[in-house]
A and B are shown apart, each in its own frame.
Chain A
Amino acid sequence: MKYLGIETEKVRIGVFDFTGCEGCELQLANKEGTLVSFLDLLEVVNFREISSERGDNYDVALVEGAISRDNEIERLKQIREKAKVLVAIGSCACFGGVNYLKNRFSMENVVNEVYGEHKVETRRVQSIGEVVKVDLEIPGCPVSKEEVERIVVDLVTGADIKFPKYPVCIECRQKLNTCVFDLGKICLGPITRAGCGAVCPSSKVGCLGCRGPAEDANYDSFRQIALDHGFTAPRIEEKLKFFNALGAALQK
């Protein structure tokens, strides 16, 4: 591709997955309209899910999934050594994601529940950033394809990378949606960082905070609003903890 009339050097990219569903990396192949021109920006040297190429000479590593096994720690550290820029993509990579729900129990208990007598190795779930240095986080369950494309283009062209600081509520209002609280459901839109296009409230279901907190999110006042709407404290906490994305809220 050309940028300002000059042929840009293709960025060598590797896509790697750990504990997760691989849904985020699939988003990369999901935007049919722009996929071909997006791929033109890049040289995909390692992307096991769609390609048999297995190169180690990548500049940018997109890493999906959380960490829950010893051998994943080893593999992640190797990727960190090779990559100039390591990007955590998706809520599992950024925060541990739904996998963190496993951490409510002892590891012995969860292994016993699923595998019975057969012992399977597993660890408490950690985000990518708890194990290695992360240069950039792109949250979402799944990530928004548009956002990943925009950010990868920014990386390639050296532009500033920006995320919205305002909450999902702003995007939701712009769509003239009825407030989900008025539909009788809990919505984490007031405290969650925007950028998803308010996809959940636009379908009349509550936001679950998969993108992490908006700037200056006021959790106390959010909890009060939810209580005032008649939701019980355990129900509110279940939503707040679902993706382990709203760290500060969980400490309180």
Chain B
Amino acid sequence: MKVDMNINVHHLTRVEGHGDIHIKVKKGELVESRWAVVETPRFFEAMLRGISHDMAPVLTSRICGICSISHTLTSLRAVEKAMRIEVPETARLLRLLAKHGETLQSHILHLLFLAAPDFFGTGSVIPLIKSRPEVVVLALRLKGLGNDICDLIAGRTTHPVSLVVGGVSKAPSREQLETLKETIGERIQDIRAVVGLFQTLSMPDFVRETEFVSLKGSNRYPWIGGELVSTDGVVKAEDDYLAMTNEYKEDFTTSKFAKLSRESFAVGALARFNNNYNFLHEKAKEAARIFGLTPVNHNPFMNNIAQIVECYHVMLESIDIIDRVLEDGCPESICAGYEVKAGEAIGAVEAPRGILYHHYDIDENGIITKADCVIPTTQNNANIHHDLAELVKQQIMLGKSDEDVTRLSEMLVRAYDPCISCSVH
């Protein structure tokens, strides 16, 4: 049995942001294992103070370069709830479509650009251009589709422009929506090919019983607003998010940690899948079954597979959404007028990496006086930290080398698709 181990991964690669892995094993016993976020804090909650309510979505989209649409939508939900603004149904549908575009581009970025090199034994996706061109083509086409959806509906993929308080500032034309629908239909074969590709790869076999937290679907797979739920049976109102997150601070990391019924919990694609499996599109469920993925699954590496299942689901649901918008007709501008008023509200949205909360106090002039943002990766960090300890213990028992343990530990963190800049916003 491998007796001593000293692993230090400084600034883990192929993840968003800066985090370190530290593992110390002495005489076959785990002495220390840490997932330490060393990202620079940006203090968005402080920056938000004194900002106009309609600039809050613009500012908070800059929390994240990958899930800026989710931040915008969460911010909009908080502002619109605080001022009791009724967003027109077509605008709601278009926002959800933009959201699906983001989920697709974000999941594909993670699966095929960041995680896949581990399974093919390369340092990045770049060598795959020559060795596995078919994988790169799939990656580019599907990520391109996600970006095209975002560009059309939100004006831009990174830091959207047309998602504004009251609705959507500029709606796409009927022709643009029809073309988009056709393109999504054509790309379904690509997501099927991704399912085929991942069938040839094996996910590491690792289980640690975990509590999974997500929005709770009432009649469909949930993305924007609603009740909060955990696989341990906790159900809370959206406004009760603090009781669901319980953030606390550890000295070795700049990101906060979070807990609920246990020492840690997980959010993200696998959490949504575990809590809302019944609301998935039938074809997405079929894809899950191919991988033997059923709720409740406690293998964090299966988050990769849950992301594939969700890609399939959002592509199919996007087609349905476009059909509904086309039925309703496509008005040029879909934005409710509103009166600025004081209020306090919480918005909860399922970002690609898990549930995201914004909480604002707004004064009678529409200025933000206090803000709180709880980020998916912040909620996952404690779970990653505890998974790491369990994974290393199991690997020591199997007599694995430093190299194997390092590789698997890195893959574990990547499986959560952490968005570290976000978590230290």
In the complex, identify which listed stretch (A4-12, A31-39, A159-167) lies at the interface while the others stay far away.
A31-39
**Provided the pairs A113-B46, A114-B45, A238-B51 are in contact, do residues A22 and B17 lie with their beta carbons within 8 angstroms?**
yes
- Contact between B159 and A23 (Cβ–Cβ < 8 Å)? yes
Q: Does A20 contact B (CB under 8 A)?
A: yes
Report the separation of the CA atoms of residues A205 and B170 in the bound assembly, to the nearest whole angstrom.
Answer: 9
- Contact between A101 and B51 (Cβ–Cβ < 8 Å)? yes
Residue of B whose beta carbon sits closest to that of A115: B249
Report the separation of the CA atoms of residues A5 and B13 in the bound assembly, to the nearest whole angstrom.
Answer: 37
**Which residues on A sit within 8 Å (CB–CB) of B162?**
203-205
Residue of A whose beta carbon sits closest to that of B248: A118
Smallest CB separation, A203 vs chain B (Å)? 4
Q: Does A174 contact B (CB under 8 A)?
A: no
Report the separation of the CA atoms of residues A97 and B117 in the bound assembly, to the nearest whole angstrom.
Answer: 33
- Contact between A30 and B158 (Cβ–Cβ < 8 Å)? yes
Report the separation of the CA atoms of residues A99 and B64 in the bound assembly, to the nearest whole angstrom.
Answer: 13
**Provided the pairs A21-B421, A23-B68 are in contact, do residues A208 and B254 lie with their beta carbons within 8 angstroms?**
no
- Contact between B170 and A204 (Cβ–Cβ < 8 Å)? yes
- Contact between A120 and B66 (Cβ–Cβ < 8 Å)? no
Q: Does B65 contact A (CB under 8 A)?
A: yes
Report the separation of the CA atoms of residues A35 and B128 in the bound assembly, to the nearest whole angstrom.
Answer: 13
**Provided the pairs A29-B109, A99-B42, A202-B155 are in contact, do residues A208 and B58 lie with their beta carbons within 8 angstroms?**
yes
Category for how many chain B residues contact A = 35 or more
Q: Does B124 contact A (CB under 8 A)?
A: yes
- Contact between B254 and A204 (Cβ–Cβ < 8 Å)? no
Report the separation of the CA atoms of residues A49 and B18 in the bound assembly, to the nearest whole angstrom.
Answer: 9
- Contact between B124 and A53 (Cβ–Cβ < 8 Å)? yes
- Contact between B52 and A238 (Cβ–Cβ < 8 Å)? yes
**Which residues on A sit within 8 Å (CB–CB) of B144?**
32-33
Smallest CB separation, A96 vs chain B (Å)? 11
Report the separation of the CA atoms of residues A161 and B123 in the bound assembly, to the nearest whole angstrom.
Answer: 32
Residue of A whose beta carbon sits closest to that of B117: A52
Smallest CB separation, A64 vs chain B (Å)? 9
**Which residues on A sit within 8 Å (CB–CB) of B51?**
101, 238
Report the separation of the CA atoms of residues A52 and B411 in the bound assembly, to the nearest whole angstrom.
Answer: 12
Q: Does A229 contact B (CB under 8 A)?
A: no
Residue of A whose beta carbon sits closest to that of B125: A50
Q: Does A235 contact B (CB under 8 A)?
A: yes
Interface string of A101-118 (1 = CB under 8 A from B): 110110001110111101
- Contact between A23 and B65 (Cβ–Cβ < 8 Å)? yes
In the complex, identify which listed stretch (B135-143, B182-190, B396-404) lies at the interface while the others stay far away.
B135-143
**Residues 20 to 66 of chain A near chain B (Cβ within 8 Å):** 20-27, 29-30, 32-33, 35-36, 39, 44, 47-54
- Contact between B124 and A52 (Cβ–Cβ < 8 Å)? yes
**Which residues on B sit within 8 Å (CB–CB) of A95?**
none
Report the separation of the CA atoms of residues A203 and B58 in the bound assembly, to the nearest whole angstrom.
Answer: 14
Smallest CB separation, B418 vs chain A (Å)? 12
Q: Does B129 contact A (CB under 8 A)?
A: yes
**Provided the pairs A32-B143, A142-B65, A238-B55 are in contact, do residues A49 and B14 lie with their beta carbons within 8 angstroms?**
yes
- Contact between A23 and B40 (Cβ–Cβ < 8 Å)? no
**Which residues on B sit within 8 Å (CB–CB) of A30?**
143, 147, 157-158
Q: Does A122 contact B (CB under 8 A)?
A: yes
Q: Does B357 contact A (CB under 8 A)?
A: no
- Contact between A20 and B421 (Cβ–Cβ < 8 Å)? yes
**Which residues on B sit within 8 Å (CB–CB) of A200?**
155, 161
Q: Does B333 contact A (CB under 8 A)?
A: yes
A21's contact among B68, B124, B141, by CB below 8 Å, is which? Answer: B68
Smallest CB separation, B132 vs chain A (Å)? 13
- Contact between B155 and A199 (Cβ–Cβ < 8 Å)? yes
Report the separation of the CA atoms of residues A115 and B59 in the bound assembly, to the nearest whole angstrom.
Answer: 20
- Contact between A242 and B55 (Cβ–Cβ < 8 Å)? yes
- Contact between A114 and B43 (Cβ–Cβ < 8 Å)? yes
- Contact between B124 and A102 (Cβ–Cβ < 8 Å)? no
Residue of B whose beta carbon sits closest to that of A39: B126
**Which residues on A sit within 8 Å (CB–CB) of B254?**
120
- Contact between A101 and B59 (Cβ–Cβ < 8 Å)? yes
Report the separation of the CA atoms of residues A116 and B249 in the bound assembly, to the nearest whole angstrom.
Answer: 10
**Which residues on B sit within 8 Å (CB–CB) of A141?**
62, 159
Residue of B whose beta carbon sits closest to that of A68: B40
Residue of A whose beta carbon sits closest to that of B62: A98
- Contact between A102 and B43 (Cβ–Cβ < 8 Å)? yes
**Provided the pairs A52-B117, A98-B59, A113-B45 are in contact, do residues A23 and B158 lie with their beta carbons within 8 angstroms?**
yes
**Which residues on B sit within 8 Å (CB–CB) of A32?**
140-141, 143-144, 147
Interface string of B1-33 (1 = CB under 8 A from A): 000000000010111110000000000000000
Report the separation of the CA atoms of residues A199 and B47 in the bound assembly, to the nearest whole angstrom.
Answer: 25
Q: Does B81 contact A (CB under 8 A)?
A: no
Q: Does B196 contact A (CB under 8 A)?
A: no
A51's contact among B49, B124, B143, B159, by CB below 8 Å, is which? Answer: B124
**Which residues on A sit within 8 Å (CB–CB) of B155?**
199-200, 202-203, 205
B50's contact among A36, A104, A114, A235, by CB below 8 Å, is which? Answer: A104
**Which residues on A sit within 8 Å (CB–CB) of B113?**
29, 50
**Which residues on A sit within 8 Å (CB–CB) of B15?**
49
Smallest CB separation, B367 vs chain A (Å)? 9
**Which residues on A sit within 8 Å (CB–CB) of B164?**
205
Q: Does A127 contact B (CB under 8 A)?
A: no
Please name 16 pairs of A and B residues whose Cβ atoms are closer than 8 Å in the assembled complex, sorted by A.
A19-B40, A32-B141, A35-B140, A48-B13, A49-B14, A50-B124, A51-B123, A51-B125, A53-B123, A68-B42, A102-B47, A120-B41, A120-B254, A122-B43, A199-B156, A238-B52
Q: Supply 19 further A-B pairs (C-beta < 8 A) apart from A50-B114, A51-B124, A203-B161.
A: A21-B422, A23-B68, A26-B66, A30-B158, A32-B147, A35-B140, A48-B11, A51-B14, A51-B123, A68-B40, A102-B42, A110-B46, A113-B49, A114-B45, A114-B46, A142-B158, A199-B161, A204-B162, A204-B170
